[in-house]
Amino acid sequence: MSALRETIAVTGMNLRSLPTRYGTSLVIVVGIATVVAVLVSVLAMSRGFLESMTRSGRPERAIVLGRGAEAEASGGFPRDNAVTVLGLPGIKKATDGSPLASAEYLASVLLPENKDGRDAFIVVRGVGAGAFELRPELKLVEGRLFKAGLNEMIAGRGALKQLNGIKVGSHIPMQNGDWTVTGVFESNGDSHESEFMTDANTLIAAMRRGETFNSATVWLEDGAAFTKFKDAVSSNPTLAVDVKSEPAYFEQTSRPVARVLNVVAYVIGGFMALGAVFGALNTMYSAISARRVEIATLRALGFSTGAVIVSVFAEALLLAGVGALLGAAVAWFFFDNDLVSMASATNRGQLTFALSVSPGLIATGVAFALVIGTLGGLFPAIRVSRMPVAVALRG
């Protein structure tokens, strides 16, 4: 009990004396804040990307791709295949009795000027009539839907954020003349929000590129229907397509990119943390050097070495904690919900997504900081315990 009181007394005294060493103390705080801010921001990018991609997938849905195609844009299948696929068993029926499915066609449109004055590829997704019942997350927030047969399309909110001045009523130059943007849609911040949408048949006719679809998305009857549907696809010799569940498809296409971002975050964060450990050691050595006479006096008065060591650690961890919170606050303030645009992993377009600074990432940053603080306090604490009282008192 008295050991505890002793420790609290020494630690409290030490922390109260911190302001007299504010210059060196700030070194730890600033060093660790920098590490945490960088680490959390890059991880937030990786996380935002993954969230945006995986949010696009729902376990009830499956996606049909051209045989051997890794992604929608890299393959296709002819119209007769699309018709056959939509008639297979396992697909849920829509309210009007037709299959709840959409055969889709992707076109990429080059818009010469985006926000940064560079070329931007925007994906225009031609969808079937069932696309909106198939994707309940799709919501029109402005204007009206496109009409099949007319040169009209609706724009994803994410896509518009990257483009300069395009809004409802704007014209988009396409193969067969200008198309009109009739509305804006939101899609829960997923990858479709970075696209434009229109009627598949109108788009196919306009592009004059043959009757080829890039993918078909279907809503399955129930959990067991995936196997049924997949078997029906693979047992039909006229079909040259593959089936994947939607979450598996989006996860598989986004994993490599997210992995690269994570590696970058931890490699850079790791090196910076190493630098911050050196900085923290420096600070703590000079802190104990400034407290040398004080510490020796305490020990001469009978305070235990343990209490002094704890006070050194408490100082290091407190400063590390303050640094971590400061760094996380900087990352959150500047980058949370910040929009980033990156080459899409699944098609030729751009993917726009929001960075996401989550509590989990902040916890990761704080954990990093506390490890730095512990390492920074360790060796100085060892030195404290070995400091001969008499020599230190002589100053």
- In the complex, the residues that contact other proteins under the rule CB under 8 A are 23-24, 26-27, 30-31, 33-35, 37-38, 42, 68, 74-75, 107-110, 116, 118-119, 121, 174-175, 207-210, 268, 271-272, 274-276, 278-279, 281-282, 285-286, 340-343, 348, 350
Give the span between the Cα atoms of 311 and 381, in whole angstroms: 9
Closest-CA residue to 241 (of 107, 57, 90, 76): 76
For other proteins, the closer of residues 352 and 364 by Cβ is 352
CB of 283 to other proteins, least distance (A): 8
Q: Indicate the pairing of strand 350-354 with strand 120-127.
A: unpaired
Nearer to other proteins, 85 or 203 (CB): 203
Q: Taking a C-beta distance cutoff of 8 angstroms, is the pair 64, 214 a contact?
A: no
| Helix, strand, coil share of the chain (percent; to 5) | 55, 20, 25
Report which residue type is found at 151: N
* Total residues found in the chain within this entry: 395
Phi first, then psi, for residue 202 (nearest 5°) are -65, -40
Q: Are 115 and 162 in contact (CB under 8 A)?
A: yes
Amino acid in position 49: F
- The conformational region for residue 279 under phi > 0 = left, psi -120 to 50 = alpha, else beta, is alpha
CB of 208 to other proteins, least distance (A): 5
What are φ and ψ of residue 386, in 5° steps? -100, -5
By beta-carbon proximity to other proteins, the closer residue of 101 and 200 is 200
Shortest reach from residue 108's CB to other proteins, in Å: 5
Nearer to other proteins (CB atom), residue 11 or residue 202:
202
Q: Report helix, strand or coil for 268.
A: helix
Query: Of the two residues 173 and 306, which places its CB atom closer to other proteins in the complex?
Result: 173
Residue 330 beta carbon to other proteins: minimum distance, rounded to whole angstroms: 9
Which is nearer to other proteins, 150 or 274 (by Cβ)? Answer: 274
Q: Which is nearer to other proteins, 36 or 134 (CB)?
A: 36
CB of 371 to other proteins, least distance (A): 16
CB of 13 to other proteins, least distance (A): 23
Q: How far is the CB of 169 from other proteins (least distance, A)?
A: 22
Determine which helix (DSSP H) or strand (DSSP E) holds 341, and give its type and residue range. strand 339-343
